[in-house]
Structures are given as C-alpha cells and as structure tokens.
Amino acid sequence: MSKWVDAVLRGDHSAAKDIANQMSSPPVLSGDISTVSRWLREKRRGLTRAGLVASSGAAMLRPDGLETSFDFHQRFEWERWFLDRDSCEEADCEHKYCNDVRASSKLEVAATQFEIQGLELDWIGIC
Ligand SMILES: [Zn+2]
C-alpha cells in the first residue's frame, strides 16, 4: 500500500495503476465523493462497516457536506459512529445512531485521524 500511496503522491498514475493491479484488494482513486460513496456501498456485505475518513486539516470538504472542524467533532459520539448500524432491525435496540445518518456506513459524517484510533472499518473512503 505504501508504494501505491507514494506513486499517487508523486503523480505517477501509471506506476500507481500497475501497483494497484498487483494488489488483492486494489485501492480506487476518485475525486468525486459520490463515486467513492457508491463504490463503498457496493463493496459492503452483511454487517461489514464502511466509513469516510478525512484529515482534521481538510478545508475543502464542506461543499461535499463533510465537516472536519474541532467544534463539530468534539461533541460527536465517535464510538456510536463505529458501532451502530446503518440498518438495524433489533426491536429493543438502544443504539443511539442506528438507522441514523451518523452511523459510519451511511457515509454522511467523516471521522478524522484522531477519531479512528483503535477501531476498525472494513471499507474506507479517504477524503
Ligand atoms: Zn441497533
């Protein structure tokens, strides 16, 4: 993965494509958040989780509806973002973000590098 990232950051698209083609789960690169979200939804199966992750310093995501400001992130319940389901059918579910746009797999709220520590997503869209 690090070689692919290095090729992408160098702007060597040909090398990045060659490296990606050799990977068992090749990364996909897009400048369109709706394309990324559609790809993530297509990849998810069963109870696997997807989520968007962005740099805390990202300043160009507001037009795409993603907020990375500290004021927003400090009040958000990130454990609920990770653990609650986008489509929960439990009758007595007490999960605060189940069936809610705040669950990670709904792809409406992006976590930053500070919130993703220690928990896992199966499919990640890096913004
Ligand atoms: Zn639930």
- Interval between CA 104 and ligand 1 midpoint (Å): 13
CA distance 20 to 7: 10
pLDDT for the residue numbered 28: 87
Q: Which residue, 111, 12, 94, is CA-closest to 52? A: 111
- Interval between CA 12 and ligand 1 midpoint (Å): 44
- Interval between CA 95 and ligand 1 midpoint (Å): 5
SS3 content of the chain, % helix, strand, coil (to 5): 35, 10, 55
Q: Which residue, 84, 122, 125, 121, is CA-closest to 102? A: 84
State both tokens at 41.
Answer: 């939804």
Q: Show the CA angle centred on residue 40, arms to residues 26 and 95, nearest 5°.
A: 135
pLDDT for the residue numbered 23: 94
Confidence of residue 124 (pLDDT cuts 50, 70, 90): very high
Q: Are 52 and 89 in contact (CB under 8 A)?
A: no
Residue type, 1: M
pLDDT in tens, 54-85: 999 998 899 999 999 888 899 899 999 999 98
Mean pLDDT, residues 50-55: 95
pLDDT for the residue numbered 18: 95
- Interval between CA 35 and ligand 1 midpoint (Å): 27
- Interval between CA 89 and ligand 1 midpoint (Å): 7
Confidence of residue 24 (pLDDT cuts 50, 70, 90): very high
pLDDT in tens, 3-16: 999 999 999 999 99
Mean pLDDT score of the chain: 91
Mean pLDDT, residues 108-121: 91
- Interval between CA 112 and ligand 1 midpoint (Å): 24
